[in-house]
Amino acid sequence: METLDDSLERWFQIPPIEGEDKVCSASEAIERHIRPGMSIHIAATHSRAYGLLYELIRKFWGKDPGFEFITMGVTGPCVALVHGGLGRSYQTTFIGDPYPTPGPNPIYQEAFRTQKLFLRHWSILTFTLRLKAGAMDMAGYPTRSLLGSTMEKENAEDFRVVEDFFGDERPTGVLRPLNPDISLIHGWVSDRNGNVLFTPPYGEGFYGAMASREGTVVSVERIVSTDFIRRHNNLIKIPGSLVRCVVPIAMGSHPSGLSSQGIPEMESYADDYDFLEDMRKASRDPERLDAWIRHWILAPETRSAYAGRLGKDRIGFLKGKARGDSWYADILELAAQVDWKAPPNAQEKMIMAAAKMMARRCLENGYRHLLAGVGAANLASWLALRRLKESGHDAEVMAEIGFYGYAPRPADPFIFNYRNMPTCKMLSDVETIMGQFVSGSDSRTLGAIGAGQVDRWGRVNSTLMEGDILLVGSGGANDVASGAEETLVVCPQEKYRFPQDVHYVTSPGENVRTVVSDMGVFQKERGRQTLRLTAVLGTFSGNELDERVREIKQRCGWDLEVGEPLETLAVDDAEFLEMLRLYDPKRQFLGKIRTH
């Protein structure tokens, strides 16, 4: 006769492995689940499913499959999708090269010019919220982003403006839900049933997987037991019920990295900057890019062959670089190459001036959050944070994919560099950072963004220049300018970059109160609608000051008004300059040292 213990064990014991076995190879996954003409979501957490994407490229190369790609950024190896003509259209927030400095890619520009590339531009928050609405089966989702931008008009089919939304006097945007056919995503580990573990930051999150009509194809670093999944259930973000198949691919996010934040038994690897730079150089010439794609994507038919081309030393280097303390050895080596005595160049002066203005605006208005944009704006935010902390002002710096309250490490100025992750007080996602902390009712946020162009109204263009010259798109800039209590723009002073009216409004100018160039500071004081010159960078007086103002006016596309009294803003802070060069010792954003 069965005892009670026997019955309890038989009825209530939890099996270590459970559910349908969905593990397969990458080629099987693409063969079974990807068809020509599909809308394919390529998810972006802090990593991407590049291993799966390479397999898709190999299968459909030269076949004109007519895909629609839905991805937060057409960057990195996505250049092969455009160069190979695999997509009929792209819904995205950023299209270009992300490293070492964000900028246009000539392959994308030529495809756009010849009408082989059809783009739908969004901001990163609206992109995420459309997927959320799709996942929740909603008719629409409200937002403050896009209003007053060219994207509002271009996306009229999927974006409506509602007046008097529950008594709100401000107009409200409503986004149509977005439901891809299928989603590709890379996680850390999964059991054989497809319960997937992810580590933060989560970027756009997991709404794409939940919104996709035909489920999700998942790649992971390795397969684990269901028992392991249960022990880490706080990090399981996609359940097996949403997953069509699971593909084990080691280094499956490369050239993006993968952080094991919170799971010490897993070994992180960092973004491969050298790989991204090599790819960017190859993109300057179509034939060279053909060779690059053959070498890295088409020829190595397995991930082990791909890893063999990377080499053990390179893989080991990337794993070491992902360690939170790896910056220390780097800065000791790089510091020897820095010319500490060289006077600041124009770019350095601009960044230091922007930092001073950011700190000033925070102290005057009680802002407690800084949203660091890309490049010069990012470095200015880092400097401003240090100045605020030293003055006793409690402020935190944030980055759009989910960094909150981090302490920027030296040696690497890239906004999402892996050394900064362990210093974060919180790791979250785009919706939390851009939706709540930037746009929230009591966020007290000052945003800082870069610009391809900025006009007299403070409107920013980072998308499209006259003559169909494609830039990079909004990224998070529109969300910052639309949602932050105040926005500061950093832009070098050239006449074509300071037009009277921008050709394309990526970000509205209503909340842009300050623009800092490498020559001056422009502001819209309370009650004003247009920018005027309020400060000149450097120590000038008399005739020298008059000449400098004339030069600034010549590099401005509108009849520039000059404020009185006109401030001269010192940009010779030795400590600021030293800190700046510690952040960017390779001068990726700082530019060349002056030689005269």
Instruction: Taking residues 304-314, report their average pLDDT.
Output: 96
Per the CB < 8 A criterion, the answer to whether 395 and 389 are in contact is yes
Mean pLDDT along residues 454-477: 96
This prediction has a pTM of 0.96
Residue 278 structure tokens: 């090599």
Closest among 104, 118, 175, 168 to 146, alpha carbons compared: 175
Angle at 581 between CA 579 and CA 582, to 5 degrees: 65
How many whole angstroms separate alpha carbon 367 and alpha carbon 576? 21
Domain boundaries, the chain: 35-138+177-310, 141-176, 346-583
On the question of pLDDT at 284 being above 90, the answer is yes
Give the residues across from 327 on adjacent strands.
none
User: Span 346-583: which CATH code?
Assistant: 3.40.1080.10
Cα Rg, the chain, nearest whole Å: 25
Site of tokens 């403070």 = 458
Average pLDDT over every residue of 227-245 = 97
> Average pLDDT of 183-200?
97
Strands (E), 149-275: 159-162, 172-175, 182-190, 196-197, 216-223, 236-238, 243-248
Backbone angles phi, psi at 345, to 5 degrees: -85, 180
- Region 288-301: mean pLDDT is 97
31 has a pLDDT exceeding 70: yes
CB hemisphere CA count around 500 (13 angstroms): 2
Top-tier CATH class for 35-138+177-310? alpha beta
CA distance 497 to 493: 7
Q: How far apart are CA 203 and CA 428, in angstroms?
A: 8
Per the CB < 8 A criterion, the answer to whether 357 and 329 are in contact is no
Strands, E assignment, 51-101:
67-71, 73-74, 87-92, 94-95
Percent of the chain with pLDDT over 70: 99
Q: Where are the beta strands (DSSP E) in 352-452?
A: 369-372, 396-399, 403-404, 426-427, 445-450
Percent of all residues in the chain with a pLDDT value above 90, rounded to a whole number:
89
pLDDT tens digits for range 33-62 = 999 999 999 999 999 999 999 999 999 999
In angstroms, the CA 41 to CA 46 distance is 15
Q: What are residue 487's phi and psi, to 5 degrees? A: -130, 140
**Cβ atoms of 452 and 353 closer than 8 Å:** no
Q: Do domains 35-138+177-310 and 346-583 have the same CATH topology?
A: yes
Distances (CA, A) of 259 to 110, 413, 415, 444: 35, 18, 15, 30
Instruction: Tell me how many degrees the CA angle 64-67-73 measures, rounded to the nearest 5.
Output: 120
Phi, psi dihedral angles at 457 (to 5 degrees): -85, -5
Element housing 138 (H / E): none
State residue 262's pLDDT score: 72
* pLDDT above 80: residue 223: yes
Contact between 324 and 264 (Cβ < 8 Å): no
pLDDT at 204 over 50: yes
Cα separation of 373 and 391, whole Å? Answer: 23
The whole-number pLDDT of residue 594 equals: 64
Residue 507: name the closest of 43, 74, 93 by CA. 93
Predicted local confidence at residue 190, as pLDDT: 98
| Helix residue spans in 327-391 (DSSP H) | 327-335, 346-365, 376-390
Q: What does 92-126 look like in DSSP terms, one character per residue?
A: ESEESB-SSS-B--HHHHHHHHTT---EEE--HHH
Average pLDDT, the chain: 95
Question: Residue 251: left if φ>0, alpha if ψ -120 to 50, beta else—which one?
Answer: left
Question: Are 558 and 456 a contacting pair, CB within 8 Å?
Answer: yes
Query: What is the Cβ-side half-sphere exposure of residue 446, based on CA atoms within 13 angstroms?
Result: 31
Asked if pLDDT for residue 356 goes beyond 90, the answer is yes
Mean pLDDT of 14-25: 91
